[in-house]
Amino acid sequence: MSLPSLARITAPPDPILGLTELFGSDPRPGKVNLSSGVFVDATGKTPVLDVVVEAERRLAAEAGTKLYRPIDGEPAFRKLVRGLVLGDDHEAVTSGRALATQTPGGTGGLRVAADLLRQTGSGTTLWMSEPTWPNHPQLFHAAGFRIRPYPYTDATGRRIDEAAMFAALDHASPGDVVLLHGACHNPTGVDPSPAQWRRIGDLVEERRLLPLVDLAYQGFGDGLREDAAGLLELVRPGAELLVSTSYSKTFSLYAERVGAMLVVARSAADAGAVQTHVKAAVRTNYSNPPAHGADVVRTILADAELRARWEVELAAMRTRIKDNRAALVEALEARSIPGDWTGIATQRGMFALLGLTTHQVARLRDAHAVYVVGHGRINVAGFTPANLDPFADALAAVIAD
């Protein structure tokens, strides 16, 4: 296919970032953007964390360099994020069978994992929840995977349909990859219970599946360790898995593209061998990762005082998201909007799924300048005192149509 022929074919806009572009060009006052997963404060601004400002001040005072980083990233960063995800005292860490690679954000981590598996022939079929983050299918299709969906929530959208989910995964074949959301499921906000995580671990073990865990929001649900508990249920003796993690949200470093991809292998020797293939996949993609964002995260995690300050700011963001959930439920119930909205208050993370039709989503945008994704995925972290009531009014009007 030549470039002239490509010029006659228009690719569809991204389902999330495309909406952000539309929002930016919308001239209407009072427009509301709940499409992109970005945390905002009560004024509608996405702040730079105070601890990030301090880390950058310290980095600026150092005699630095702009040399290339290693293919798999800066060693201290890799060690620190491995401990953040798994815990420094976890058997997989102390035995050396877990290794981390720095990646350009969580999306970069997912793509490195996908390329690793496809280039080594380690998996051709990938199972993902329905619904899931809109970029998941695009990313894994582009990497050459055959995508199989498994049901996730029941008809209410507020609970996991355990029977349907496990019935579908019972059809997975040995060696298939199963994509799991580590915490704060995007878009539903509904996470497995501890018992359900144990059952997932049992199924993965019995059917010899390879888990790939997308952990983009560690700390936004119930806490750093609490949000890793489900993932850790899968890290059994001798078990293998991959983890993609992001620091865009939890460090408010969206533009810096900071993430990691972790490999947990059967042994330290296996992990070292797999890491050579990870580096080969990276080298043919982006060659080596950017430095600044990872240096900020490393500086914070390596210093006890800065880490404590970060955890305080992280807790404040988590509390704000939970408060927004409660305020949203109150606003919807005050308008007697049909449906049971109470579950939104107990869900985790940035997102909630309202279960709207495509017509209702279009009406929100066209008639009320309210931008949401797909079947009504909203960014709960995007609510402010100024936009919550207008959103609730618009939703009430659209559902009443």
Instruction: Indicate which residues carry an active-site annotation.
Output: 133, 214, 249
CA dist 316 and 250 (Å) reads: 11
Cα 23–Cα 27–Cα 31 angle in degrees, nearest 5: 55
Residue 84: Cβ within 10 Å count: 23
Q: Which residues does 279 contact at the CB level (< 8 Å), separation at least 6?
A: 71, 72, 101
The Cα-based distances of 102 to 47, 58, 75, 120, 177 in angstroms read: 24, 21, 9, 20, 22
Q: What are phi and psi of 188, to 5 degrees?
A: -85, -25
Interatomic CA distance for residues 234 and 90, integer angstroms:
13
- Residues in contact with 368: Cβ distance below 8 Å, sequence separation at least 6, in sequence order: 32, 390, 394, 397, 398
Closest CA to 197 of 239, 233, 250, 148: 233
Amino acid at 306: L
Which secondary-structure segment (H or E) carries 59? Answer: helix 50-61
Q: Rg of the chain over CA atoms, in angstroms?
A: 21
